Amino acid sequence: MIANVRLQVFALLLFLSCVAIVFARWAELTSSEHGLRRDTLAALGLRAEQLAGAVAREVDSDLRAVDLALQDLRHDYLTERGPDFLRSLAVAKDALGKDSFTGFLVTDPQGRIRFSSLGGLPSDADLSGRDYFRAFAAGGPDRMILGHPVEGRFTQGWVIPVTRPILDGGRFAGVAAIGMRPEFFAMHLEDIGLKGDDVVAIVHADGSYLARSTDMAQALGRTLPADRPFLRAGAADRGSVSLEAYVDGRRRTFGWRRLRDRPVVVVVGLDERDVLAPVDDANRRARVRSILGNGLVLALGLAGALLLLRIARQQKALQQSEERLRAVLNTVNEGIAVSDRDARIILANPAAEKILGWGPGQIQGTGPRTEGWDPVHADGTPFLPGAHPQVVTLATGQPQHDVIMGLRRPDGRRIWIQIDTEPLILPGETEPYAVVGSFTDVTGRLETARKVGLMASVFANTTEGVFIADAAGRILEVNEAFSALTGLAATEAVGRDWGVLDGTLPVEARFVRRMAEALAAEGTWREEVPMQGGTLLLTASAVRDDAGRPTTYVGLLADVSHLKENEQRLHHMAHFDALTGLPNRLLLKDRLDQALARAERAGEVFAVCFLDLDGFKEVNDRLGHEAGDLLLKEVAVRLHGVLRHADTVARMGGDEFVILLLGLEWPGDADAILGRVMHAMAEPYDIQGARVDHISASIGVACFPQDATDSTRLMQCADMAMYAAKRAGRHCIRRYDAAG
């Protein structure tokens, strides 16, 4: 009996033990299933968010392209309005896609359509009730507004209006609009590797559909509920969530990315069935096997064997799940690393190893405290151990976004990465058990930004004026020195044709047309131009692409007014007498050579006259050299007063002067002019209050071609004739006589 009771008790205890073991393992299996589904969906959400980011970049690029096209068409319409504008319209249509570009229209300030590329619009068409028109008419800034899709009466389909205001002197003058079909924004949605029932949607910030990869006809014109996580007020710019799709009701994991500065959200929905089907199938098989095994667990040995088999199969399912997760991670270009509670990396994808410069598997076990990484902030200061984004997320449970960090790779090269971290927290717990970090290499972007900043500093601070123009000659940028030298403010120059440089110049001084022709033919141009009352040296060069086509033009302006003034002073000093201001010997030689050439061509007669003052030495001896200098200045003034405009008088030195009398019909024509000279020289002088009345002149005259036919001989003949006048008693005129 006792033995039987003992056996019963033992059997009961064994049964109860087996039941307890069965229940314990069942609970473990259930927890494992939930965890596997959660991790699989988390990886799916990360993938959906990354795909949404990739599409968002493409959509943002498309919107910038449409906005630039709209601004160009608005500008060309306002400035050209002819065949050139129609060509610009055709270029914009080709660039944006003929099947996507529905048309371009312009309204007046009252909303009436004044131009449309569609044609056939009614004359009373009125857009004043549209949201974008009211926003611009109310004084809104010059910005792009992306409207909701509308079903156009003339475009035969859905159209998304993209609009900007037309401003005339800062006042609202109408609206310019481009109509784009939703297919324009949807053209990238099928290129990201979607499959099955996966879907991508581009949604306006208020929930209205702009485009959808599938069921677009059913989606357009509909608006998502406002309770969607990515549409709620204060929603994060990116994230993921599992919910039922609004259009077809299918359960998907949705990742979203909100475009910065634009009311657009890109949503990628990945069908959960594709990734959960293997997991659910493995879980169902495990449950069936567990139920069958529980019937045999009454035998302790068999129960143990079944338990071990079940554990082995569960581990296999977990391993398969991990392999699927690795496959997902290996497809992304961003580096992804999972760190444990001690911030040591336990899992990393190939992109992470490549960015950080580690070989396969070498990165595992490393972390923020790894020797040689030397993490630094963007300003070069070291990262404190507790400031690393992975450490911060583990300590606070809060994600970190867009953290810029510099790291030292094993090869010694410093790189810069942009890091985002997300905590992994088990249900019912508050502290993360791990952290997922995703990062991209931004070394090139930061280096480019630094170079651009340096170039911008040089551009802004150089003393030379600089302007940059596009291939069409439209000014894109100017610096402060440009405005100071030209008098054109940046607001007056930027956006206008470079013909604005000719705006304040007279017709004969305008240069832009010559500059444009030279740049087109040779790629460079250099010339001194008058501007702002001075002289500027303008140097312009063409910047060409790989095909040799000019893409931009760069112009440099330097003020050379002071150099021109110095040149003029040096020229005057070299050619004019310092005391009297009359031409000197050098300039006289030049004018005499010109007179000979002209006289030989025209058969003219001219005279070379040597004049020497009589009585000048007595003035120097009696009144001093200063008085003599004043007398010579007065002589120069009197000679200018009696000679003709075409004649030249030059000082040779001392009290000797030479007069060129041009355009004579015969030598005797010089007598009347020289008579006035003799009379002017003999008039009394008032020198420092003293009356000087004994001055006269002795003049020798030689004529071309009668006396000589070259400049040297003419001067010699006139000199000899002057000495003959001196010998004759002074105060007289003598013609050269070859006979002596």
Could you tell me which of 336, 357, 328 has the C-alpha nearest to residue 439? 336
Among the residue ranges 13-27, 222-236, 455-469, the one predicted with the least confidence is 455-469
Residue 60: CA count within 13 A, CB half-sphere: 15
pLDDT by residue (tens digit) across 623-679? 898 999 999 999 999 999 999 998 999 999 889 999 999 988 888 888 889 999 999
CB atoms within 10 A of CB 176: 22
pLDDT at 530: 81
Distance (Å, rounded) from C-alpha 150 to C-alpha 697? 101
Taking residues 724-729, what's their average pLDDT?
92
Q: Tell me, what's the pLDDT at 484?
A: 81
Phi, psi of 260 (to 5 degrees): -70, 135
Nearest by Cα to 611 from 668, 663, 670:
670
CA dihedral 573→577→581→582, nearest 10 degrees, is -120
pLDDT digits (tens, 9 = 90+) for 189-236: 766 777 777 888 898 888 888 888 777 878 887 888 888 888 888 888
Q: How far is CA 455 from CA 209, 449, 458, 477, 479, in A?
A: 43, 10, 5, 13, 12
Coil, helix or strand at residue 249: coil
Whether pLDDT at 560 is above 90: no
CA distance 167 to 173: 5
Query: Would the pLDDT of 286 be above 60?
Result: yes
Average pLDDT estimate for 170-183: 89
Give the pLDDT band of residue 602 (cuts 50, 70, 90).
confident
pLDDT score of 318 = 46
The confidence score (pLDDT) of residue 132 equals 87
Q: What SS3 state is found at 282?
A: helix
- Rounded distance between C-alpha atoms, residue 4 and residue 8, angstroms: 6
**374 near 408, Cβ under 8 Å?**
yes
- Rounded to an integer, the average pLDDT of 494-506 is 82
- Cα–Cα distance, 457 to 694 (Å, whole number): 73
Instruction: Map tokens 């972390």 to a residue.
Output: 367
What's the whole-number mean pLDDT along residues 481-488?
82
- Averaged pLDDT for residues 274-302: 77
- The pair of structure tokens assigned to 6 is 């003992």
Strand partners, 199: 269
What 3-state DSSP class applies to 428? coil
The yes-or-no verdict on residue 453 having pLDDT over 60 is no
Whether residue 342 has pLDDT greater than 60 = yes
Q: At what angle do helices 2-79 and 83-96 cross, to 10 degrees?
A: 170
The tokens for 289 are 């096997």
Across all residues in the chain, what is the average pLDDT? Answer: 83
- What is the Cα–Cα distance from 366 to 342, expressed in whole angstroms? 10
Q: How far apart are CA 599 and CA 605, in angstroms?
A: 6
Confidence of residue 454 (pLDDT cuts 50, 70, 90): low
| Mean pLDDT of all residues in 399-405 | 86
Say what the pLDDT of residue 304 is.
Answer: 67
| Euclidean distance between CA atoms 74 and 238, whole angstroms | 34
pLDDT digit string (tens) for 69-125? Answer: 888 888 888 887 667 787 888 888 888 877 788 888 899 999 898 888 876 666 567
Partners of 551 in the beta sheet? none
CA nearest to 320, candidates 647, 36, 685, 735: 36
Cis amide bond preceding 165, omega within 30: no
pLDDT at 442 over 50: yes
Percent of the chain with pLDDT over 70: 87
Q: Are 375 and 367 in contact (CB under 8 A)?
A: no
Looking at the predicted structure, is the pLDDT value of residue 2 above 60?
no
pLDDT in tens, 370-381: 766 778 887 778
| Whether pLDDT at 732 is above 90 | yes
Q: Is the pLDDT assigned to residue 610 strictly greater than 50?
A: yes
Rg over alpha carbons for the chain, rounded to the nearest Å, is 48
The pLDDT value given to residue 400: 85
Q: From CA 335, how far away is CA 438, in angstroms rounded?
A: 5
Quote the CA–CA distance of 347 and 270 in Å, as a whole number: 24
Q: How many other CB atoms are there within 10 angstroms of residue 461's CB atom?
A: 10
What CA–CA distance (Å, rounded) separates 264 from 251?
A: 23
Give the closest residue to 584 by CA, choosing from 363, 592, 538, 116: 592
Beta strands 733-735; 696-704: pairing state: parallel
CA distance 631 to 616: 9
